[in-house]
Amino acid sequence: MSVANASKPWWTALYAQVLIAIVVGGALGHFVPDIAVQLKPLGDAFIKLVKLVIAPVIFLTVASGIASMSSLASLGSTTGKALLYFVVVSTGALVIGLIVANVVRPGDGMNVDPATLDDGAVAGYVGKAQEQDIVSFLLAIIPDTFLGALTSGQILSVLFIAIIFGISVANLDQSRHRIVEGLHVISEAFFKMVTLLMRFAPIGAFGAFAFTIGKYGIDSIANLAALIATFYLTSAFFILVVLGLIAKASGFSLWRLLTYLKEELWLVLGTSSSESALPSLMRKLEQAGCAKSVVGLVVPTGYSFNLDGTNIYMTLAALFIAQATGVDLSLTDQVLLLLVAIISSKGAAGVTGAGFITLAATLAVVPAVPVAGMALILGIDRFMSECRAITNFVGNAVATIVVARWEGALDTERLSRELKGQ
């Protein structure tokens, strides 16, 4: 660490400002909820600012990374290894959630009659879930127009056109290097914009967290504290043990990685959205020695296919609802639930509320569990979305480094220096 950085007061660090904003926002939401709920636009505005740069950052990073590849064969290799990692690890997250739900049984004793539940409370989520199917999902990846992909807000659409554009540039002769150089220069400008926008992170975290506490209240979690505690502890186990072992086997310290990404982690906690830190995560992973092409492919894809926190939540919440409503799921029912969840969990965006919609899509295919039972956890879903987002975020950071190492596209010495803060 340089002398200049060491001499700065601790409160000038972005992570410290975001942490202070979360504490102040939470206090305001608890003691003055009427005012706190009116601060929601602050959080919404910050997330919109970040989304403003997500599409161009992904496009520029992926396109320039692919265009710079000496062999396009490595594109298929990187994508294949990333998808293999996503399937194995995210399925492991689903299994862990299923096992914990069977062992802890957080829903036992509630004895809720499904007929007394309000179907209307979750009708909107069920409607959105019914709109999702494999064909619609795949067709949605292809944008109507090239520029439409950059304005639609769909990460996979941006990734799609970036890959096609990058391959096209890679096949050019004389003009290839000029275009790649231009993409790099424009990328630098957008990452400077990301750095600038991150200075507004404390304001966004303050508004978002104040609204959450003011709207739903800390008291609302008391009745379902067992489910919340189980989910948080299970996610912590997954991060520290499962991802920790993966990181150790890949030659880096998970704890040092978490410290390196502390600003982004506090931001995700405050805004309850892993997308709020996506551009900054891509910049830091590239800075830590991961090749631009790997970062550009793995991170955006992981935000749709590697949602470890959402997967833990899905199986845990599904079995909680079954237990609370007195539904005894057989082993066959649970295996069916797991298989459906493996499919329905893919393609969910890493934004607030997507986990609830994906849960609705899963329960709709497993009739043994009443979809109306989702009303039981609707009030506390917001308090679990922070944990989902953080777990998803950490999972994708680890995945990118692991795939980069597999591809021989990781500067291990640089990674070590960055994680040690040198």
pLDDT confidence of 410, banded at 50, 70, 90? Answer: very high
pLDDT in tens, 15-56: 888 889 988 998 998 899 899 999 989 988 988 888 888 889
- Domain ranges within the chain, ordered by starting residue: 10-419
Determine the residue type at 354.
A
pLDDT confidence of 367, banded at 50, 70, 90? Answer: confident
Residue 147 CB neighbour total at 10 angstroms: 10
CA diameter of the chain: 71
| pLDDT higher than 90, residue 217 | no
Name residues whose C-beta falls within 8 Å of residue 186's C-beta, 6 or more positions apart in sequence: 60
Task: Yes or no: say if 321 and 374 are a contact pair by the CB < 8 Å rule.
Answer: yes
3 state DSSP class of 247: helix
Q: Which two tokens stand for residue 309?
A: 């926190």
Residue 150 CB neighbour total at 10 angstroms: 19
Per-residue buried b or exposed e for 327-354, using 16+ beta carbons within 10 Å of the residue's own CB: bebeeebbeebbebbbebbbbbbbbbbb
Question: What is the spatial distance between Cα 14 and Cα 121, in angstroms, rounded to a whole number?
Answer: 38
Question: What is the spatial distance between Cα 181 and Cα 178, in angstroms, rounded to a whole number?
Answer: 5
pLDDT of residue 2: 45
pLDDT > 90: percent of the chain: 31
With 0-12 / 13-18 / 19 or more C-beta atoms within 10 angstroms meaning exposed / middle / buried, residue 422 is: exposed
pLDDT confidence of 376, banded at 50, 70, 90? Answer: confident
The closest alpha carbon to 97, from 354, 417, 345, 386, belongs to 345
pLDDT of residue 378: 73
* Global pTM value: 0.82
| Choice between 366 and 346, residue whose per-residue pLDDT is larger | 366
Q: What is the mean pLDDT of the chain?
A: 84
In CATH terms, the fold of domain 10-419 is Proton glutamate symport protein (1.10.3860)
